[in-house]
Structure 1
Amino acid sequence: MGQAKNRGSKEQRIADALGLKRVSLSDLKIRLGLPENASFLGYGIHNVEKDEFLSRFEETADAIMRTWGKTPELAISYAEFDDAYTVSRKCKEAIVVGMFDTGTQIYVASVTGD
C-alpha cells in the first residue's frame, strides 16, 4: 500500500513511461523559436494523417464520438497533459501537441516525440 504515491503523480508516471522530461514553458518557447509573449493555450490532440484537431469528444458505455476540425482554433484544449494523453490513446493516428498563441497564429508542436 502506498506504492503509487512513491512513484509520483499520474502525470509524472505517464511522462516517465514515454521518456518525457518536464520542461518549463520559457525553455520550450526558446527551443521552438517562439516569442516570449506567446501564450500557452493547453494541450490538443492532432490527427497527423488527416491534419485535423480533435474538437469534440464524448464517451459513453456504448460508443465514442469524435469530431475533428481543420484548425487548431477548433481543438479541445486540455490543461493537463495526462488528460490529453488518455483521450489521444482512443483516437487512431493522434498525438498530443502543445498549442501556443503568438498573436498572429496558433503554433502547435508535438510534446511526445511521436
Structure 2
Amino acid sequence: MTSFGEEKRVVIRKKSAEFEEERVTPVAWLKAKLGVPEHATYLGFGVQKEDGALFLAVCDPAGAPSDWGWTPSVEQARKFVGWREAVDASERCAGSGVVLYFDYGEEIWVFPAR
C-alpha cells in the first residue's frame, strides 16, 4: 500500500504478437470491392460523359471546358492520379462523372467512381 502523494508504478507487459498484420492498400481494397482481378493494373481516375460515349482526353485546368478535348477511346483518355483533380475537372463539365480505369491486359475496364 502507498501513502497519499507517493508514486505507485504499474507495469503492464504486452504479449508479443505471433502474427504479422496484413496491410490492405487502397487499390487492393478497390479491386476487392469492384470484383477486379488482382492481375489488373490500376491506371487512375478519369472523366467520362454521362452518356458513356466520350472520355476527357485533353484539358487545361485554367482554360474553359469548351476548349477541352474528348475522345471515344479509353486508351487515349487522360488519367488523373489524384481524386481531387478528377473531381474538379468533372465538376467543370456538365454531364460528366469521375471514373476509375483498370487495365486487364487485353482491354481497359471503366468503373464509375461515385
With the length of structure 1 as denominator, give the TM-score of the two structures. 0.70
Specify the SS of the correspondent of 2:84: helix
CA displacement at 1:92 relative to structure 2: 1.3
Aligned to 1:39: 41
- The residue type equivalent to 2:92 in the other structure is K
CA displacement at 1:59 relative to structure 2: 4.7
Distance (Å, rounded) in 2 between the aligned partners of 1:27 and 1:60: 33
Cα displacement string for residues 59-82 of structure 1 (whole angstroms, at most 9, x for unaligned residues):
556x44111110211111110000
Higher strand share: 1
Higher helix share: 1
Mapped pair 1:75 → 2:67 = no
Specify the SS of the correspondent of 2:48: strand
CA 1:60–1:28: 2 relative to 1, 3 Å: closer
Distance (Å, rounded) in 2 between the aligned partners of 1:41 and 1:35: 14
CA displacement at 1:105 relative to structure 2: 0.8
Mapped pair 1:108 → 2:105 = no
CA RMSD of aligned residues (A): 1.8
CA 1:105–1:77: 2 relative to 1, 3 Å: same
Distance (Å, rounded) in 2 between the aligned partners of 1:80 and 1:92: 20
Distance (Å, rounded) in 2 between the aligned partners of 1:59 and 1:36: 33
Residue among 53, 56, 59 paired with 1:54: 56
Mapped pair 1:89 → 2:86 = no
Cα displacement string for residues 61-111 of structure 1 (whole angstroms, at most 9, x for unaligned residues):
6x4411111021111111000000001111111100010101111011111
With the length of structure 2 as denominator, give the TM-score of the two structures. 0.70
Worse overlay, 47-56 or 74-83:
47-56
- The residue type equivalent to 1:70 in the other structure is P
Residue among 93, 97, 100 paired with 1:98: 100
Cα displacement string for residues 8-35 of structure 1 (whole angstroms, at most 9, x for unaligned residues):
xxxxxxxxxxxxxxx8211221222221
Distance (Å, rounded) in 1 between the aligned partners of 2:54 and 2:103: 18
Distance (Å, rounded) in 2 between the aligned partners of 1:32 and 1:110: 10
